[in-house]
Structure 1
Amino acid sequence: MDCKTQYGQTVIPIFYDVDPSEVRNQKESFAEASAKHESKYRDDVEGIHKVKRWRTALSAAGDLKGYDIRQGKKEEYVNNKEDGKHLMAHRLRFKVLVVLDDINHGDHLDNLARDLDWFGKGSRITATTRDKHLIRKNDAVYEVTLLVDHQAIQLFNQHAFKKEVPDKSFEKLTLEVVGHANGLPLALKVWGSFLHNRDITAWKSAIEQIKMKSKLEIVEKLKISYDGLETTQ
């Protein structure tokens, strides 16, 4: 929304399975989410300011003319792939930035960004994937590197303690948790947030569970965090 206000860029919101008025007026799940964030950041001035910016942006987006997906028929989208491609080619003749997140099937990339001439000169198409086999031979590839030790510790501390230096009594435990994350930012963020404001006993319990799952995929390790949440959380 800042880009719309400052640079005059066009924003077309897509309301997927939600009434635009709920977004505009912060009702239902949006009200609940806002309340949770406000509670989470109640002692963090910067966090409270961030939540207020989110609410303002959502309200502004709800006022814009966009696409209400609830009003369409799903079969129309599924059965008209070719029409969709031609429509995309027509609409996206301008310079655009397209981000395709978490591509896990070759058809996804082909259907949405197969031909570069669909897009205007200077356009950028960025796709993220965990499957290297989906990368095409002419694509420019950027491999996301893992964090080195001091970066990993700093990121974890920001989420676990809301500061860059851990409390003295948690220094050893912090190094142990960070060591199991193997430099993966997502694990550091999730575990740090989960352990925030928890006592040493809870930390030791979480570390033991992480050790038990050491040979499992990272997704299973991350489940430790939400498996440990109370039902109200």
Structure 2
Amino acid sequence: MLALFLRDVRLGVRAGGGALVGVLFFLTVVAVVPFGVGPDLNLLARIGPAMLWVGALLASLLGLDRLFQADREDGSLDLLILASDRHMLALTVLVKCLAHWVASVLPLVVASPLLGLFMNIEPLGIAATSLTLLVGTPAIAFIGAVGAAVAVSLPRGGLLVSVLILPLAIPVLIFGVSAAYGAVNDPNPFLAPFLILAALTLFFAVIGPAAATLALRSMSD
């Protein structure tokens, strides 16, 4: 499993520009916001955590359609499906999701404090937003595994993956933004939405690989 993890991280970094493309897309989404809402620094600070989360969510979708694509092209995906039982295949999917998150999504979390300064977010808000992104974005990778498994046999399944994932990722977005706002707005709680966000990540860590396993097995039948 460690060899599979390291292999997928290397493939994720190399494929399509890897983390750099995601970070540049993240930067582009956040950078256009001040042009749309104007130079009001207070407004930018107020909507900053939400814009960071929206940008990170959209950037996280970029490489999900390639989660199983390389394995399908070289035939190793068929071997994994045939040689593994259901539980081992689900564990393999989990490892691939973690590798995708490290290669493509973790750089977005690392870049978020710098973009938070760009949005005039106060230091406590930047720290809270970065923490919620660190805890919540793995859930997007786990959800994305389901869409990637459904679309892996389609010639142009990238758009389908995004369409399938976005509705399921809305709760992650809601509680991530709520926790980030709660850290800087005194009446709003931080801990409750943050714990729900962590619970969603753990929930999708179980459900996502299991559902992706069923989709992959049905594809091979």
Q: Which interval holds the TM-score relative to the shorter structure? A: under 0.3
The structure that is helix-richer by fraction is 2
TM-score (ref. length: structure 2): 0.24
The structure that is strand-richer by fraction is 1
TM-score (ref. length: structure 1): 0.23
Greater RCO (Cα-Cα under 8 Å, separation 6 or more): 2
Structure having the higher Rg:
1
